[in-house]
Chain A
Amino acid sequence: MRRIAKLAANPVMVALVASLALAGCASKKTPNSAADLGLGGGAATPGSAQDFTVNVGDRIFFDLDSSSIRADAQQTLARQAQWLNRYRQYSIVVEGHADERGTREYNLALGARRAAATRDYLASQGVAASRIKTISYGKERPVAVCDDISCWSQNRRAVTTLGGAGS
Chain B
Amino acid sequence: MKTLLKTLMMVAALAGAATGLAIGPASALVEIDVNKGTIEPLPIAITDFAGGELGAEISSIVQADLKRSGLFAPIDKAAFIEKIANPDQAPRFDDWKVINAQALVTGRVSKEGDGRVRAEYRLWDTFAGQQLSGEQFFANGANTRRVAHIIADAIYERLTGEKGYFDTRIVFIDESGAKNARKKRLAIMDQDGANARFLSDGRSIVMTPRFSPNRQEITYMSYESGQPRVYLLQLETGQRELVGNFPGMTFAPRFSPDGQRVIMSLMREDGNSNIYSMDLRSRNTTRLTSSNAIDTSPSYSPDGSKIVFTSDRGGRPHIYVMGADGSGQTRISFGEGSYSTPVWSPRGDLIAFTKQSGGQFQIGVMRTDGSGERILTSGFLQEGPTWAPNGRVIMYLKQAAGSGGPKLYSVDLTGRNEQQIPSPNFASDPAWSPLLD
Contacts and interface: CB of A to CB of B under 8 A. Distances in A.
Interface stretch (B80-88, B94-102, B161-169, B175-183): B175-183
B271 interface: yes
B317 to A, nearest CB: 6
A135 interface: yes
A110 B271 CA distance: 8
Interface string A100-121: 1111111011101111110000
A141 interface: yes
Contact of B383 (A67, A103, A136, A142): A103
A145 interface: yes
Given A103-B383, A108-B251, A116 B270 contact: yes
Nearest to B271: A116
A112 B273 contact: yes
Interface in A113-154: 113-117, 134-137, 140-145, 147
Interface string B291-303: 0001011000000
B341 interface: yes
B402 A106 contact: no
Contacts of A101: 356, 381
Which residue, of A110, A134, A144, A147, has the highest number of chain B Cβ atoms within 10 A?
A147
Given A116-B271, A145-B178, A105 B297 contact: yes
A137 B180 CA distance: 12
Most buried by A among B271, B380, B384: B271
A89 interface: no
Q: Main secondary structure on chain A at its contact with chain B?
A: mixed
A30 interface: yes
B267 A112 contact: yes
Interface residues of A, number: 31
Given A145-B179, A145-B180, A106 B297 contact: yes
Contact of A117 (B178, B184, B208, B271): B271
B207 interface: yes
B296 A113 contact: no
A135 B384 CA distance: 23
B310 interface: yes
B227 A104 contact: no
Interface string A62-80: 0001010000000000000
Contacts of A30: 180
A65 B207 contact: no
B252 A105 contact: yes
Interface of B: 178-180, 182, 184, 205, 207-208, 226-228, 248-249, 251-252, 265, 267, 269-273, 294, 296-297, 310, 312, 316-317, 338, 340-341, 354, 356, 380-381, 383-384, 401-402, 428-429
29 contacts: A30-B180, A65-B316, A101-B356, A101-B381, A102-B338, A102-B356, A103-B354, A103-B383, A104-B207, A104-B384, A104-B429, A105-B208, A105-B341, A106-B297, A106-B310, A106-B312, A106-B340, A108-B228, A108-B252, A112-B249, A112-B271, A112-B273, A113-B271, A116-B270, A136-B249, A137-B205, A140-B207, A145-B179, A147-B380
Given A104-B341, A106-B310, A115-B271, 6 more contacts: A103-B384, A105-B297, A117-B271, A137-B205, A145-B178, A145-B179
